Amino acid sequence: MGMTMTQKILAAHAGLEHVVAGQLIEAKLDVVMANDITGPMAVPVFNQMADKVFDKEKVVLVPDHFTPNKDIKSAENSKSIREFAKKQGLTHYYEVGQMGIEHAILPEKGITVAGECIIGADSHTCTYGALGAFSTGVGTTDIATGMATGELWFKVPSAIKFVLTGTPSRYVSGKDIIIHIIGRIGVDGALYKSMEFTGDGIRSLTMDDRFTMANMAIEAGAKNGIFIVDERAKAYMKEHSEKSYTIYEADDDAAYDEVVEVDLAKVRPTVAFPHLPGNAKTIDEIEAMEPIRIDQVVIGSCTNGRMEDMRRAAAVLDGRKVHPDVRVMIIPATQKIYKQCIREGLVDIFIDAGCAFNTPSCGPCMGGHMGVLAAGEKCVSTTNRNFVGRMGHVDSLIYLASPEVAAASAIAGYIANPEKAGDR
């Protein structure tokens, strides 16, 4: 029996010719990453294991969740990884002013490429599968082990094959597609499985679309998400990285638990209602309801804070005003994206529309800062989770959407169709 993309990567990193689903292996690691929440918990465990990290080029620390620091505790956490990075001489440590949201800055800096085995102490580490890498989130003890030894054990996952066909319509992006998929299979539909994206439809997806989709694989319970490596992915890696990479393709006889076909032309702008990313409703279903009035919009995060997301939001907001009852936070994912927004005049569009344009940070995504919700408030957010209390008070409500739906909703004051934004 053949192997899937993920299984081939894991076999290569375990030094094995073949692996099967359910097999326990010890694999060598190419990147080990932690942030300002998980890193401070991993460091004391690491100190019990080793004096030096296994490779200062391959251990990456990014303070992004509570930075700029919102209180004394977050300041102490950032201080601990800052001192650790300096002591260990880490090549990849990004301080405030240079840093970005971890899952955006690592590909941008060329740290992650195809064929690698990557772990991160953050559940959305699966983002790097957009480049054809195996990447997955792990706990802090595993991160400490990875930093010390450069190896970690894995149970080889089985896989679901997603065959994408067709071309998405103008107002449909990766966020709509992945919410549509999670809505179909459920939030546990890919539990500890690899979501492997294939098909001719991938050629119509930008890299930012793919990063968004791989990022939210965990929201279906997946171990990882991974895309085939095509010319667009190769071009991205050539532009951003000097590292060599390896392309792994699934065997023709690879075993899949399920094959799911998705016609991208039929996907509509889609919103995940509270309190699960799989509670998907199309914009057509929403328009048939009573208007859902909102209090806040957040456009940013590791899911939708990239340059294309900024452009999509700006195209809807250009020349329009945010509804007086809505506050809008726009948070570019990295400093490079921040500067590009300035160069392209997007910052003027956002501010003139009535938005707050903020420094790169995870900020409001997990109720950290820069947009925490009060009781009873409703937020349309381009983030990845809408669990109870995720962005603040347990009685607040979060609706996950694309940048265009979020921007259209900001103007309307309720969840709105971006296709009709020009009608207002």
Rounded Cα gap, residues 26 and 12, in angstroms: 11
| C-alpha angle 213-358-339 in degrees, rounded to nearest 5 | 80
Residue 422 has pLDDT above 80, yes or no: no
CATH number of 391's domain: 3.30.499.10
379 is in an annotated binding site: no
> CA-CA distance, 307 to 336, in Å (whole number)?
9
| CB-side neighbour CA atoms (13 Å) of 329 | 25
Q: Taking the CB of residue 57, how many other CB atoms lie within 10 A of it?
A: 14
Which among 264, 280, 304 is the end of a domain? 264
Does 189 score more than 70 pLDDT?
yes
For the record, the structure tokens of 255 come out as 């075993």
Residues 30 and 176 in one domain: yes
Rounded-to-integer distance, Cα 135 and Cα 181, Å: 20
DSSP annotation of 278 reads: T
Q: Are residues 237 and 337 in the same domain?
A: no
Q: Does residue 112 sit in helix, strand or coil?
A: coil
pLDDT of residue 67: 86
Q: How far is residue 40's CA from residue 69's CA, in Å, rounded to a whole number?
A: 14
| Portion of the chain with pLDDT greater than 90, in percent | 91
Query: Which residue, chain included where needed, has tokens 């100190």?
Result: 47
Residue 106 and residue 183 in one domain = yes
345 φ, ψ (degrees, to nearest 5): 80, 10
- 8-state DSSP, 173: -
Task: Check pLDDT > 60 for residue 423.
Answer: no
ω into 275 cis (within 30 of 0): yes
Q: Are residues 191 and 318 in the same domain?
A: no
Domain co-membership, 113 together with 166: yes
Sheet architecture: strand order including 134-137: 92-93, 59-62, 31-35, 117-120, 134-137
Last residue of a domain, one of 204, 239, 264: 264
357 and 295 co-located in one domain: yes
* Phi, psi (degrees; rounded to nearest 5) at 24: -90, 130
- The pLDDT score that the predictor gives to residue 61 is 96
The structure tokens listed for 281 are 């409703």
- Asked whether residue 143 falls in the same domain as residue 292, the answer is no
Summary mean pLDDT of the chain: 95
Shared domain for 64 and 205, answered yes or no, is yes
Q: Which of 394, 358, 356 is nearest to 70 (CA)?
A: 358
In 208-345, DSSP assigns E strands to 224-227, 258-263, 270-272, 280-282, 296-300, 327-331
Domain interval for residue 60: 5-264
Q: Do 174 and 293 lie in a common domain?
A: no
**For 21-56, how does the pLDDT look when each residue is reduced to its tens digit (9 = 90+)?**
999 999 999 999 999 899 999 999 999 999 999 999
Residues 65 and 125 in one domain: yes
User: pLDDT tens-digit profile of 309-325?
Assistant: 999 999 999 999 999 99
- The DSSP code for 74 is H
Residues 30 and 164 in one domain: yes
Mark whether 240 and 278 lie in a shared domain.
no
Domain count, the chain: 2
CA distance 140 to 286: 40
Residue 243 has pLDDT above 60, yes or no: yes
Single out the residue in 209, 231, 264 at which a domain terminates: 264
* Bigger pLDDT: 196 vs 74: 196
Q: Percentage of the chain surpassing pLDDT 70?
A: 99
pLDDT, one tens digit per residue, over 88-142 is 999 999 988 888 999 999 999 999 999 999 999 999 999 999 999 999 999 999 9
